[in-house]
Amino acid sequence: MISTEIKNFGILGYPVGHSLSPQMYKAAFEAAGFVNYNYIPLQVHAGKLFMAVEAIKGLEFRGVNVTIPHKMTIARYLDAIDADALVIGAVNTVVNDGGMLTGYNTDVAGFLSALAEANFLPEDCHAVILGAGGAARAILWGLCKKRAEFITIGARNLQKANALAKDFMTQGQVEAFDWNSDEFKEMLQTADILINTTPLGMFPHVDDMPPVDLKLLPEGALVYDIIYNPAETKLLQTAKELGYPTLNGLSMLLLQGKEAYRLYTGETPDMEVMAATLKKNLAMK
């Protein structure tokens, strides 16, 4: 059915020109018959975030996605924060209900749905997370929600990793290590899943990878890199050569987008259209 109602959406960030969200959402809106739904990149400098949020209300945007560097700071300008976003401390989706702005974090749902699609059951698993930034926080919370038995964080900055582990201490059994330490290498030997949340290996630095000896992982451990550009990072390529199952970040990206679309419209997007659009645009980069 065609809908001629006008609704505006966008992605707030700086820089934001590289984002694939405009193409992905526009394709999904078009496929659903929302011919007057617009989605634009909104380049917003850190010091102007408050004005940008006011403009969302004034211009009656229905919703915005939020990316670097605003994911943590935008919360203070919103009227309500959903439970997941509150625990994670980051918002990646804002919905405007008649001037009332609510912040959500759809990365958790995206991550958990991607694991489910890959037939990986996080319940009772030992998960090893590489990195201690924003994405690691969302993933850590997702694993705690699913009652992972043990979560190991390995990072270059032990202080930051320890602080992250401490934040989630009451939610699950979480421990942090310097990823070059012998203790961390020992933890790798019992991992059911290794998740890279660092940007090491992301385009254009495709020859980089986290300093992890994958051979220490048990047979059958899933090696998951949440990077989606390139589709196969050096980490995943190495894991594949060693015979481990692998998963890249495209499904998480798509499934967090599905969740945001559902929050915006109350409907489920055409996932084939969204996936095809993302793949086409990634291939052009």
Q: Looking at the chain, how many residues does it have?
A: 285
3-state secondary structure of 87: helix
Taking the complex as a whole, how short is the minimal distance between the CB of residue 6 and ligand NAP, in angstroms?
29
Q: Which of 71, 146, 166, 279 is catalytic?
A: 71
Taking the complex as a whole, how short is the minimal distance between the CB of residue 83 and ligand NAP, in angstroms?
19
| Main-chain dihedrals φ then ψ at residue 83, nearest 5 degrees | -60, -45
Which residue of the chain is nearest ligand NAP when measured via CB?
133
DSSP annotation of 46: G
Q: Which is nearer to ligand NAP, 22 or 34 (CB)?
A: 22
Contact positions vs ligand NAP (CB under 6 A): 107, 110, 131-136, 155-157, 160, 197-200, 202, 226-228, 249, 252-253, 256
How many Cβ atoms sit within 10 Å of the Cβ of residue 198?
24
Q: Which is nearer to ligand NAP, 78 or 250 (CB)?
A: 250
Taking the complex as a whole, how short is the minimal distance between the CB of residue 139 and ligand NAP, in angstroms?
9
Kindly state the tokens that stand for 113. 């749905």
What is the phi-psi region of residue 239: left when phi exceeds 0, alpha when psi lies from -120 to 50, beta otherwise?
A: alpha
Confirm whether 215 is a catalytic residue: no
Taking the complex as a whole, how short is the minimal distance between the CB of residue 34 and ligand NAP, in angstroms?
23
7 CB-near residues (< 8 Å, 6+ apart): 34, 36, 37, 38, 62
Q: Which is nearer to ligand NAP, 93 or 197 (CB)?
A: 197
What is the phi-psi region of residue 124: left when phi exceeds 0, alpha when psi lies from -120 to 50, beta otherwise?
A: left
The residues carrying an active-site annotation are 71
